[in-house]
C-alpha cells in the first residue's frame, strides 16, 4: 500500500499517456477520451508531441472534468507509462496519491517506483504476444489492451467503447471484431488480477449535452467552406497544415458540382509561404475569396505581401495557427506569440485586423466572418488560432449557420454602376468610412480599370509622389481602420458578483483556463471583472473597461505581454495599470497558474480579501 | 513623362480590327522609360499582337513584379486591369488571379532581375504548374532601375558599363522553361518586331504556360561594347530557327513562302501558327531536341530565337484541379455554402 492515501475522485482527474511517436497509440488514446464523453462526462484532451514522425516521446493528456473545465489543469493523477525513455520523468510527475499504470511484462526494479503512489502492472506485451503473431498487430493491439484494462480500472462501461469501435470500423467487420476482442483481453485480465475499480472513476452523467468534439483547425477550415472561400494556397507547416488538409477533405465532400463532378474550389500547395500569400492576393484581387493557413515563420515570410494588401487594399484571409517562436522556436508547442508581428506586419505604417477565437466554435464563426470582413475592408484579416485550439479536440457548442445569410462582398462597382455614370476612384472615399470602391478585372470595356500598385497614388489610382496626396491616402487608411472597430467581434465582459477595482483581460485559447481561474480566485476572496478581447482593432469598450478599473491583469501566452503592449500603444494607457500575467513555456496555460499569479499579485497589493473583511 | 497627357483623338481613317478597335484602343499611358529602351518596343509589339488578335482589351489582366519591365503594363492596354505587385512575385499573383477567373487572358510581364533572381522559384513553379498565361521576360541582363548592376542572365565574361567583368554563369530562362515543362517556349529580340509580334500572338492563343524570353537592350546601362545584350551584339549573334504568322478564324493571308518550307501548327483553340522554317533541321515539337540545340548554339555564342517548342495539345492548371467552368469569383453563397442541414449532420458526427 502506498504511504499516501490514494486519490479518490469521480469524474474529475487527469490521465496522461506516455507513448512513443508512431506506435499507433493516438487512436487508442482518442478512443479513451471519446468513451468518457459518451458517458456524459466532459473531457479536455491535449496532444503533447515532438517535432518528429517516429521514435521520440509523445504524450496524450485527458482531463476528465464533470464540471466542464476545458483548460489544461496541470498535474497528473494517473500515468499510463508506455515509454521507457521517459519513465523517470513520467513517474516523478504523478501527483502524490496518484496511480502508475505500466506494462509489467519485464520486471522493474523497485527503485523505479515511488512509495506514495499506487502501482498497477499489466503484462501488456505478454498478453499481446501470446495472442498475436504479426509484430504490427502486437504493437497496435497492445494499445487497445491497455484501453480495456483502463476500462475495468476506471469502472467504464465496456459497451460504450464497443459502440465507438463499431462506429469507427463500420463495414470493416474483421477490424471491428479484433479490436473488440483486444479490448476484452485487457479488461478481463484486469478484472481477474487487479482490484477494480481504483479510486479514480468514471460515472455516467449528463454534462456534455449537444456539444461537439472537434479540432480548431478542422472547424476553421469548415468556416472557410461555409464562408465561401474558393481559393486556398498553403505551404505545410506545423501546427497549421491540418487546416488546409481539412479544407481539402471538406471541399471533396461538399464542393463538387453534383452533375459534372467538377470542383467549386482550387487548392494549391505553394512552393513556399511567399507564393501561397501571392496566390491569395492575386485571387482576391480578381474577386475570389481566398485564404492561406500558416504559423509564425510563415507570417515572417508573408510580411511583404501583407504590406501590399494593406496599401493596395486587397482582401486576404490568413489563418495563423501560432506556435512557440521566435525563429523555428518550438514547432509543436503552443503560444500566443505573434500578436505584434501580425498587428503591425510589414515595413511602413500598417495596422491589421486580428480575430481571436476562443475555441473551435468561434474558429468556425470567425473564419466565415473573416471573408466578409476581408472583402468589406479590402485588407488582410488574421484569424489568430494557436496549437492548443488548432490541433486538439475540444468540446464546444454545435456549429451554427443561418441559411438566409448572404456573403458581404463589400464595395464592388459593377458594369451597370459604371454605365450609370458613377464616379469611380479606386482610392476615393465616397462614403466617409475610409473604404473605397473596387472593380474586378474584366468588368467594363472602357470604364473602371485601374493599375494596382504598392507605390503611392492618388484617389484615382494615378501614380503620385506628392506628399499631400500620400498623406491623404494614409489618413483614409486610418479612417478605414476606425471603421473596422465596429465591424469586428466585440469584447465580451463578465463582471464579478460585487463591484471591484480589479479587472482581467484575456483572449483566445486562454479562455477556459481563465474561466476556471476566476472560480479559484473567488475562493481566495478575490473579485475580478473579466473582459475577453475577440478582435483588434479594439472596440471602445476596451478603453472603458480600463478606465473603470485601477488595475487590469492582462493574461497571455507569450513572454513580452504582446497584447498588453498593443493595448498600451493603441489606447495611450499608463502601462503601470496593466499588469502582465504571462505563461510561455510552450505548454497551455492553466487555471492554477493564472490563479496563483493573480492571487499573489493581489496579495502584494495588500488587498484584503473580501471574505476576511466581512468576517 | 506621365504628366504629358496623351491626346485621345486620332485619325478617322485609322485601321480597325474585327471588334472595331484601333491601335489606339490598345495603348496605355506614355512610357516613363528611357528614350530608345528595348522594353518600349516590346510594349509596341504587345499592343500590335492584341490588336491583331482582336482581343477585348478589358479581358486581359496584366500582372508584373518590380523593375523597369514591370512598369510597362501601365503603357499598354489602358482599359485593362494591371497589377504591379512585388519583386519576383508576379507568377504567384498571376496564378491566384487565374484561379479566380479562368475566363480572362493573363499576361505576366517580368524582367531578368525579377524572374531570374528573387523570382526564380516562382518563375519555375508557375511554369511547372501549367498556369494558362503568357509569361514575358524583358531580358536586358542588367538592373536598370538601380543603375547598372549585373543580373543573373548576364553572360559570363560580359562587361558592365563601368568596365567590370561578370564572373558568374548566366541563367538561360528559355532552357529552364523547357526543362520545367512549359508548353510554349520562344525567344526573341525587342528590335525584331516582325518576329516578336506573332510570337506574342501565338503565346496568347496558347493554352497552358507560354514563356517568351525577349532580349531587350538597356539603352542606359547595357548597350556598350563588351555587353552581350546590346543591340549590335544581339543583331550579330541572332540565329532565328523560324518565323511565324498566327492565323485566327480567317483564311490564311497569302504568305510568300517557298513551297514545303511552311509548317502549320494548329493550337488547342483552333488558331493556326504558320511556321516558316529557317533552320530546316529544327523541329519545334521536340523538347529534348530543342534543349540540345540551344546548348550547342549557346556554346558557339549564338542566340537562338524563334518558336523553340510548342505542344499544341497542352492542358492547364484548371484541368489539373478539375475546376468548374464558371469563374470561381462569380460563385455566391448558393453555390458554395453547404447550408445548415449539412452542418447539423456534421455536428451529429462529432458527438
pLDDT tens for each residue of A112-144: 999 999 999 999 999 999 999 999 999 999 999
pLDDT of A475-490, one tens digit each?
A: 999 999 999 999 999 9
pLDDT of residue A22: 82
- Through-space distance between the first and last CA atoms of chain B, rounded to whole angstroms: 67
pLDDT of residue B255: 46
pLDDT of A378-392, one tens digit each?
A: 999 999 999 999 999
pLDDT of B9-57, one tens digit each?
A: 778 888 999 999 999 999 999 999 999 999 999 999 999 999 999 999 9
> Which residues of chain B have a CB within 8 Å of the CB of A400?
340, 343
What is the residue whose three cell numbers read 538597356? B218
Could you give the ipTM of this predicted complex? 0.95
Rounded CA-CA distance B149/B151 in Å is 6
> Which residues of chain A have a CB within 8 Å of the CB of B97?
282-283, 285-286, 441
Grid cell, residue A245, equals: 488538409
> Which residues of chain A have a CB within 8 Å of the CB of B343?
226, 399-401
B95 and A268 within 8 Å at the Cβ level: the answer is: yes
A532: helix, strand or coil: strand
Grid cell, residue A597, equals: 499569479
pLDDT of residue B268: 81
Is the pLDDT score of A111 beyond 80?
A: yes
> Which residues of chain A have a CB within 8 Å of the CB of B56?
445
Supply φ then ψ for residue B43, to 5 degrees. Answer: -55, -45
Mean pLDDT of A80-99: 96
The overall average pLDDT reported for chain B is 92
pTM: 0.96
> Which residues of chain B have a CB within 8 Å of the CB of A439?
81
Strands (E), B65-119: 81-84, 105-111
Q: Which of A235, A262, A279 to mutate to test the interface with B (most CBs of B within 10 A)?
A: A279
A274 and B122 within 8 Å at the Cβ level: the answer is: yes
B96 and A230 within 8 Å at the Cβ level: the answer is: no
pLDDT of residue A607: 59
Reported as a pLDDT band with limits 50, 70 and 90, residue A469 is: very high
**Residue ranges of chain B with per-residue pLDDT less than 50:** 1-3, 251-255
B332 and A407 within 8 Å at the Cβ level: the answer is: yes
B215: left (phi over 0), alpha (psi -120 to 50) or beta: beta
pLDDT of residue B55: 96
A257 and B324 within 8 Å at the Cβ level: the answer is: yes
A84: helix, strand or coil: helix
A449 and B346 within 8 Å at the Cβ level: the answer is: no
A166: helix, strand or coil: helix
Rounded CA-CA distance B49/B43 in Å is 10
Is the CB of residue A352 less than 8 Å from the CB of residue A382?
yes
Query: Measured between alpha carbons, how far is residue A178 from residues A151, A163, A193 in Å?
Result: 17, 14, 23
The contacts of residue A259 (CB under 8 Å, 6+ apart) are none
Is the pLDDT score of A2 beyond 70?
A: no
pLDDT of residue B5: 63
pLDDT of A167-208, one tens digit each?
A: 999 999 999 999 999 999 999 999 999 999 999 999 999 999
pLDDT of residue B271: 84
Rounded CA-CA distance A219/B345 in Å is 14
pLDDT of A141-165, one tens digit each?
A: 999 999 999 999 999 999 999 999 9
pLDDT of residue A613: 56
A582: helix, strand or coil: strand
pLDDT of residue B266: 86
Say which DSSP state B170 is in: P
Cis omega (within 30 of 0) on the bond before B273?
A: no
* Strand-pair category, A492-494 with A502-507: unpaired
A263 and B322 within 8 Å at the Cβ level: the answer is: yes
HSE value, Cβ hemisphere, 13 Å, CA-based, for B21: 22
A261 and B82 within 8 Å at the Cβ level: the answer is: no
> Which residues of chain B have a CB within 8 Å of the CB of A282?
63, 83, 85, 92-100
Q: Nearest residue of B to residue A371 by CA position?
A: B333
Three-state SS for A466-490 is CHHHHHHHHHHHHHHHHHHHCCCCC
- The closest CB to that of A233, out of B2, B85, B96, belongs to B96
> Which residues does residue B61 pair with via DSSP β-bridges, in sequence order?
B81, B106
Is the pLDDT score of A357 beyond 60?
A: yes
> Which residues does residue B245 pair with via DSSP β-bridges, in sequence order?
B274
The contacts of residue A594 (CB under 8 Å, 6+ apart) are A510, A513, A514, A517, A555, A581, A583
Query: Measured between alpha carbons, how far is residue B320 from residues A267, B100, B314 in Å?
Result: 11, 15, 11
Amino acid at each position: 500500500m502506498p504511504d499516501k492515501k490514494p486519490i479518490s475522485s469521480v469524474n474529475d482527474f487527469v490521465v496522461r499517456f506516455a507513448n512513443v511517436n508512431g506506435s499507433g497509440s493516438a487512436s487508442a488514446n482518442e478512443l479513451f477520451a471519446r468513451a468518457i464523453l459518451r458517458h456524459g462526462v466532459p473531457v479536455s484532451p491535449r496532444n503533447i508531441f515532438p517535432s518528429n514522425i517516429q521514435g521520440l516521446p509523445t504524450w496524450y493528456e485527458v482531463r476528465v472534468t464533470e464540471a466542464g473545465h476545458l483548460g489544461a489543469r496541470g498535474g497528473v493523477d494517473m500515468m499510463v507509462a508506455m515509454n521507457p525513455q521517459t519513465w523517470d520523468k513520467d513517474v516523478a510527475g504523478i501527483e502524490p496519491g496518484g496511480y502508475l499504470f505500466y506494462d509489467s511484462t519485464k520486471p522493474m526494479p523497485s527503485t523505479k517506483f515511488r512509495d506514495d503512489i499506487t502501482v498497477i502492472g499489466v503484462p501488456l506485451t505478454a498478453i499481446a504476444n501470446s495472442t498475436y503473431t504479426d509484430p504490427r498487430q502486437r504493437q497496435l493491439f497492445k494499445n487497445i489492451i491497455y484501453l480495456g484494462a483502463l476500462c475495468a480500472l476506471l469502472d467504464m462501461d465496456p459497451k460504450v467503447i464497443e459502440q465507438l469501435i463499431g462506429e469507427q470500423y463500420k463495414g470493416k467487420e474483421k477490424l471491428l471484431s479484433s479490436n473488440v476482442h483486444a479490448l476484452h483481453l485487457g479488461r478481463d485480465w484486469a478484472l481477474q488480477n487487479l482490484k477494480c475499480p481504483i479510486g479514480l472513476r468514471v460515472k455516467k452523467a449528463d454534462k456534455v449535452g449537444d456539444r461537439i468534439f472537434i479540432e480548431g483547425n478542422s472547424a476553421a477550415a469548415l468556416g472557410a467552406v461555409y464562408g465561401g472561400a474558393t481559393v486556398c494556397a498553403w505551404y505545410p507547416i506545423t501546427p497549421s497544415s491540418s487546416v488546409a488538409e481539412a479544407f481539402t477533405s471538406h471541399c471533396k465532400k461538399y464542393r463538387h458540382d453534383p452533375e459534372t463532378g467538377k470542383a467549386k474550389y482550387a487548392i494549391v500547395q505553394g512552393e513556399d509561404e511567399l507564393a501561397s500569400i501571392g496566390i491569395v492576393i492575386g485571387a482576391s484581387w480578381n474577386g475570389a475569396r481566398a485564404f492561406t493557413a500558416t504559423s509564425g515563420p510563415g507570417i515572417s515570410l508573408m510580411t511583404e505581401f501583407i504590406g501590399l494588401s494593406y496599401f493596395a487594399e486587397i482582401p486576404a484571409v490568413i489563418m495563423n495557427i501560432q506556435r512557440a517562436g521566435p525563429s523555428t522556436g518550438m514547432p509543436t508547442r503552443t503560444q500566443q506569440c505573434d500578436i505584434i508581428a501580425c498587428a503591425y506586419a510589414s515595413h511602413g505604417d500598417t495596422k491589421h485586423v486580428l480575430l481571436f477565437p476562443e475555441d473551435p466554435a468561434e474558429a468556425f464563426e470567425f473564419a466565415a466572418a473573416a471573408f466578409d470582413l476581408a472583402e468589406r475592408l479590402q485588407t488582410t484579416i488574421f484569424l489568430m488560432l494557436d496549437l492548443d485550439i488548432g490541433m486538439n479536440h475540444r468540446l464546444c457548442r454545435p456549429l451554427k449557420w443561418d441559411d438566409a445569410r448572404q456573403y458581404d462582398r463589400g464595395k464592388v462597382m459593377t458594369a451597370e454602376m459604371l454605365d450609370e455614370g458613377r464616379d469611380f476612384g479606386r482610392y476615393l472615399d465616397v462614403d466617409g468610412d475610409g473604404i473605397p470602391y473596387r472593380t474586378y478585372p474584366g468588368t467594363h470595356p472602357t470604364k473602371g480599370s485601374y493599375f494596382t500598385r504598392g507605390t503611392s497614388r492618388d484617389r484615382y489610382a494615378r501614380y503620385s509622389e506628392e506628399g499631400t496626396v500620400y498623406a491623404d491616402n494614409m489618413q483614409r487608411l486610418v479612417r478605414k481602420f476606425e471603421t473596422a472597430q465596429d465591424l469586428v467581434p466585440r469584447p465580451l465582459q463578465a463582471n464579478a458578483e460585487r463591484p471591484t477595482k480589479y479587472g482581467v483581460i484575456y483572449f483566445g485559447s486562454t479562455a477556459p483556463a481563465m474561466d476556471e481561474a476566476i472560480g479559484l480566485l473567488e475562493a481566495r476572496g478575490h473579485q475580478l471583472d473579466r473582459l475577453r478581447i475577440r478582435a483588434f482593432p479594439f472596440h471602445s469598450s476596451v478603453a472603458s473597461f480600463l478606465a473603470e478599473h485601477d488595475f487590469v491583469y492582462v493574461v497571455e501566452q507569450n513572454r513580452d505581454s504582446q497584447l498588453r503592449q498593443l493595448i498600451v500603444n493603441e489606447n495611450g494607457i499608463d502601462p503601470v495599470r496593466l499588469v502582465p500575467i504571462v505563461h510561455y513555456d510552450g505548454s497551455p496555460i492553466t487555471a492554477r497558474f493564472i490563479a496563483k499569479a493573480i492571487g499573489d499579485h493581489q496579495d502584494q497589493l495588500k488587498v484584503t480579501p473580501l471574505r476576511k473583511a466581512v468576517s | 513623362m506621365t504628366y504629358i497627357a496623351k491626346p485621345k483623338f486620332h485619325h478617322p481613317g485609322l485601321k480597325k480590327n474585327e471588334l472595331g478597335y484601333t491601335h489606339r484602343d490598345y495603348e496605355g499611358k506614355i512610357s516613363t522609360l528611357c528614350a530608345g529602351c528595348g522594353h518600349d518596343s516590346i510594349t509596341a509589339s504587345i499592343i500590335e499582337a492584341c490588336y491583331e488578335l482582336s482581343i477585348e482589351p478589358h479581358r486581359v489582366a496584366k500582372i508584373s513584379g518590380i523593375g523597369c519591365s514591370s512598369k510597362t503594363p501601365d503603357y499598354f492596354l489602358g482599359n485593362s486591369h494591371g497589377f504591379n505587385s512585388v519583386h519576383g512575385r508576379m507568377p504567384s499573383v498571376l496564378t491566384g488571379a487565374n484561379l479566380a477567373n479562368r475566363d480572362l487572358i493573363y499576361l505576366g510581364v517580368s524582367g531578368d532581375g525579377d524572374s531570374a533572381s528573387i523570382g526564380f522559384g516562382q518563375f519555375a513553379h508557375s511554369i511547372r504548374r501549367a498556369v494558362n498565361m503568357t509569361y514575358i521576360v524583358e531580358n536586358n541582363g542588367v538592373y536598370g532601375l538601380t543603375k547598372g548592376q549585373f543580373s543573373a542572365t548576364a553572360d559570363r565574361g560580359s562587361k558592365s558599363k563601368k568596365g567590370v567583368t561578370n564572373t558568374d554563369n548566366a541563367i538561360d530562362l528559355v532552357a529552364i522553361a523547357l526543362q520545367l515543362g512549359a508548353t510554349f517556349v520562344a525567344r526573341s529580340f525587342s528590335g525584331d518586331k516582325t518576329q516578336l509580334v506573332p510570337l506574342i500572338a501565338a503565346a496568347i492563343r496558347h493554352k497552358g504556360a507560354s514563356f517568351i524570353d525577349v532580349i531587350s537592350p538597356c539603352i542606359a546601362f547595357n548597350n556598350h561594347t563588351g555587353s552581350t545584350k546590346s543591340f549590335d551584339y544581339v543583331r550579330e549573334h541572332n540565329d532565328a530557327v523560324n518565323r511565324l504568322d498566327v492565323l485566327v478564324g480567317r483564311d490564311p493571308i497569302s504568305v510568300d513562302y517557298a513551297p514545303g518550307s511552311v509548317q502549320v501548327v494548329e493550337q488547342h483553340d483552333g488558331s493556326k501558327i504558320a511556321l516558316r522554317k529557317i533552320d530546316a533541321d529544327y523541329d519545334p515539337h521536340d523538347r529534348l531536341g530543342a534543349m540540345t540545340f540551344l546548348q550547342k548554339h549557346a556554346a558557339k555564342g549564338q542566340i537562338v530565337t524563334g518558336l523553340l517548342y510548342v505542344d499544341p495539345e497542352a492542358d492547364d492548371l484548371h484541368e489539373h484541379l478539375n475546376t468548374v467552368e464558371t469563374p470561381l469569383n462569380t460563385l455566391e453563397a448558393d453555390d458554395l455554402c453547404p447550408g445548415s442541414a449539412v452542418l447539423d449532420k456534421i455536428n451529429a458526427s462529432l458527438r
